[in-house]
Chains A and B, each alone.
Chain A
Amino acid sequence: MEFFLISMLNSLSYGLLLFMLSSGLTIIFSMMGVLNFAHASFYMIGAYFAYQISTWIGFWPALAVAPLLVGSVGMAVERYGLRTVHKYGHVAELLFTFGLAYLFEEAVHLIWGRSSVPYAVPPSLEGAAFTLFSTDYPIYRVFMMAVSVSMLIGIYLTLTRSRIGLVIQAALTHPQSVETLGHNVPRVFMLVFGGGSALAGLAGVIGGNAFITEPGMAAAVGPIVFVVVVVGGMGSLAGAFLASLLIGVLQTFSVALDYSLVDLFARLGITIGPDTPLAAVWNLTISQTAPVLPYLLMVLMLIFRPKGIMGTREG
């Protein structure tokens, strides 16, 4: 029970972090048709900016400044890069963001070196928030959840209650009509791209010190975010939310479970020795398969329900 509750809380905080990344990606994708390969790179530079700023003026200013900086980098990328390649089609845009991901990673190597940086949780957020049975639950995890949830409510309110949110929603489905009505759709695109990058940057600020801030963090989280978007359904925010939580649960629980098919067979009275055919497969524990599970889920989803959990369109 204790294990279950703690793991559930951990999945929730990880899932919410994933949603901060996937929500930006989803909004950008459904609005512009651009699959932003460099999205996880914005997450990474968010963490690095936060580290750099927190060494100068502390964590709290960094929490506000770093996402804004990442957002302005995102806007510059859209304005001077994506808009130029837009005429060559979506594949060219995807290639552009792919090249950008390389460039960001190398720039991080250049500036901060190849090993991880000591970006730590601020002292005011260290310690336990509450004790569940015998396990202390860290304050920082609670803080992460609070930031994610308030961000979530923020996006929801912006998209549904504000004027710019309504324009964005309209531009999602009918960009031409919105343009005819006198709205500057390219500028809306730029703002959305910047906003999505800023969200990824914020996820980096709070995720970088919870996990680890290193040049490989973008490559580690990027494919998972893509899995979330595919499983949730391309372009569906609600789907991305469900899929983020699902992947969060899947990854958190699977790393902790040490059961293999051998144990199952043993209960059924079948013994598996080292000479049994495919012994390597039967001996795998769930925790060993943990890195594969999200991708397996994606492949199964594509076979049985190609439009994803909540998706409305196929591909």
Chain B
Amino acid sequence: MAKLKYRPLNLGRWFVWGGTALLMIVLPLIFTAGFTLTLLSQIGVGIIFALSYNMLLGQGGMLSFGHAVYSGLGAYFTVHAINLISKGSFYFPVTLTPLIGGLAGMIFGVIFGYVTTKKSGTTFAMISLGIGEMVFACSLMFAGFFGGEAGISTNRVIGKAFLGITYGPAIQVYYLIVGWALVCMVAMFAWTQTPLGRMANAVRDNPERAEFVGYDTHMVRFLTLVLSGFFAGIAGGLSCINYEIVTAENVGAVRSGGVLLATFIGGAGFFFGPIIGIVVFFTMVTAVGAMTQAWLFYLGILFLLMVLYAPGGFASLIVMHVPVIKARLMRRLWLPYAATLATGMVLFAGLVSVVEMTYHFSLEAGTNPEMKLLGIAFNVTHTAPWAVAVALLVGGFVVSRFAWSAVGRAWGDIVHVLQEKST
């Protein structure tokens, strides 16, 4: 992964944080359609979850395939807590119930983390997968606690209204999520600046040297995982308040895989990377998912392209351009970028056509061979549309490779110029 040093002025930091907070607060006032609030709430919870995941992947170098365990168990403890509160077993404000989820996530982090963090790298990845599968299998075994197939549902509107806040309307829940998200973001960013956060980086980059300096790498990884479990649990608690239901899916492999995809696409090497990743992820799930059933396929392709060509994620792509803009060299990139975009669109059109036509063909070729793509109606059982689609795919692939190598050459020149300037 590219090691880029980027240290903005403190004023810039205030601006970025303030801007993020302001954006999160005003967005639902600008976009008032019902589904945007759902999407924004999802993104808010997702940001906490993905940032907690990045404490492991980005800061600690631990690739986990079972992070949903901590958020999911946090969600289960929160849902039971809310149900007990509504029965009057004990008194606790709903606003703070995500803390119960956080504590649950932390406790399970202590239990599972001690075993899993003995090793990092591939071994950690496999064990985290095993733990995830184990908890998921347990969730179907203990129907009393996990609610079996139906899950556990709850009602977040309990107790007396406090200053008019009942958490009945979705907008109030959204602002609860925003509040928690901002607190957690600041806390997790502050953590990266603590000695433990720094040691987590050291253990990630060179565990052997960290051991020689006198740190117990197992302990550093363990503490990182426990804290990460805490924040994941908060995310789980918030999702429980948001949906008012918790099912076994919350601890499942799909959830764990999703947060990995989102974090990596956004960029694990940067603190703000997962935030971009979550926004891209949920926008794709919502927008592309509404258009086509094959959205997971496109997401998979985006992920693979990122792994192959931009392992630092979107965040690294953004940060990469900062020195270029400062040196006023962007004009060298516009033309190759435009060419890549144009040829890439051809390739993309070919890919989408082939995928959508295959889907249509396998699903309803017999009953309804007519389909529409980009406003063009055609018959999937005919050869001509397939020929066009494959031609677009192959032609797009060939020309975009030319455009792509032009980008590579332009970047080579720019790196050269920047190096000359700095010496």
Are A and B part of the same complex? yes
* B115 & A299 in contact (Cβ 8 Å cutoff): yes
The digit string for B205-239, where 1 denotes a CB below 8 A from any CB of A, is 00000000000000000000000000000000000
The digit string for B67-80, where 1 denotes a CB below 8 A from any CB of A, is 00000000000000
CB contacts (< 8 Å) of A58 on chain B: these are none
CB contacts (< 8 Å) of A306 on chain B: these are 118-119
List the one stretch of B19-27, B100-108, B139-147, B342-350 in contact with chain A: B139-147
* B296 & A113 in contact (Cβ 8 Å cutoff): no
List the one stretch of B125-133, B174-182, B373-381, B405-413 in contact with chain A: B125-133
* B297 & A292 in contact (Cβ 8 Å cutoff): no
Q: Identify which of residues 103-123 in chain B touch chain A, using a CB-to-CB cut-off of 8 Å.
A: 115, 118-119, 121-123
A270: Cβ under 8 A from any B Cβ? no
B307: Cβ under 8 A from any A Cβ? yes
CB contacts (< 8 Å) of B122 on chain A: these are 33, 35, 90-91, 94, 234, 315
A223: Cβ under 8 A from any B Cβ? yes
CB contacts (< 8 Å) of A111 on chain B: these are 358, 362
The digit string for B128-159, where 1 denotes a CB below 8 A from any CB of A, is 01110110011011101100000000000000
CB contacts (< 8 Å) of A303 on chain B: these are 115
Chain A, residue nearest B302 (CB)? A99
On whether A35 and B300 interact (CB within 8 A), knowing A85-B308, A98-B260, A292-B141, the answer reads no
Q: Identify which of residues 75-128 in chain A touch chain B, using a CB-to-CB cut-off of 8 Å.
A: 81, 84-85, 88, 90-92, 94-96, 98-100, 102-103, 106-107, 109-113
* A91 & B296 in contact (Cβ 8 Å cutoff): no
B49: Cβ under 8 A from any A Cβ? no
CB contacts (< 8 Å) of B359 on chain A: these are 110
* A102 & B138 in contact (Cβ 8 Å cutoff): no
Choose one: B115, B126, B308; the contact of A81 (CB below 8 Å). B308
On whether A85 and B141 interact (CB within 8 A), knowing A95-B63, A112-B362, the answer reads no
* A230 & B130 in contact (Cβ 8 Å cutoff): yes
Q: Identify which of residues 109-154 in chain A touch chain B, using a CB-to-CB cut-off of 8 Å.
A: 109-113
**B327 shortest CB reach to chain A, Å:** 27
A110 to B294, CA, bound (A): 7
On whether A94 and B127 interact (CB within 8 A), knowing A291-B140, A292-B137, the answer reads no
Choose one: A81, A98, A106, A315; the contact of B294 (CB below 8 Å). A106
* B130 & A280 in contact (Cβ 8 Å cutoff): no
CB contacts (< 8 Å) of B141 on chain A: these are 284, 288-289, 291-292
A299 to B132, CA, bound (A): 11
A226 to B300, CA, bound (A): 22
B355: Cβ under 8 A from any A Cβ? yes
**B298 shortest CB reach to chain A, Å:** 9
CB contacts (< 8 Å) of B119 on chain A: these are 306, 314-315
Choose one: A99, A107, A226, A289; the contact of B307 (CB below 8 Å). A99
Chain A, residue nearest B358 (CB)? A110
**A239 shortest CB reach to chain B, Å:** 15
Chain B, residue nearest A81 (CB)? B308
On whether A102 and B121 interact (CB within 8 A), knowing A110-B355, A292-B138, A302-B115, the answer reads no
Q: Identify which of residues 300-315 in chain A touch chain B, using a CB-to-CB cut-off of 8 Å.
A: 302-303, 306, 314-315
**A224 shortest CB reach to chain B, Å:** 9
A6: Cβ under 8 A from any B Cβ? no
- A sample of 24 inter-chain contacts (CB < 8 A) reads A84-B308, A85-B308, A88-B1, A91-B121, A96-B304, A96-B307, A98-B65, A100-B304, A103-B301, A110-B297, A110-B355, A110-B359, A113-B362, A113-B363, A223-B133, A230-B127, A280-B145, A291-B141, A295-B130, A295-B133, A295-B134, A299-B127, A299-B134, A315-B121
Which residues of chain B have a CB within 8 Å of any CB of chain A? 1, 61, 63, 65, 115, 118-119, 121-123, 125-127, 129-131, 133-134, 137-138, 140-142, 144-145, 253, 257, 260-261, 264, 294, 296-297, 299-301, 303-304, 307-308, 311, 355, 358-359, 362-363
Which residues of chain A have a CB within 8 Å of any CB of chain B? 33, 35, 81, 84-85, 88, 90-92, 94-96, 98-100, 102-103, 106-107, 109-113, 219, 223, 226-227, 229-230, 234, 280, 284, 288-289, 291-292, 295-296, 298-299, 302-303, 306, 314-315
Sorted nearest first, the 3 A-B pairs with minimum C-beta distance are A295-B134, A315-B119, A106-B297
Q: 9 new A-B pairs (CB below 8 Å) besides A103-B300, A292-B138, A302-B115?
A: A33-B122, A85-B307, A99-B261, A109-B294, A113-B363, A230-B126, A292-B134, A296-B134, A299-B130
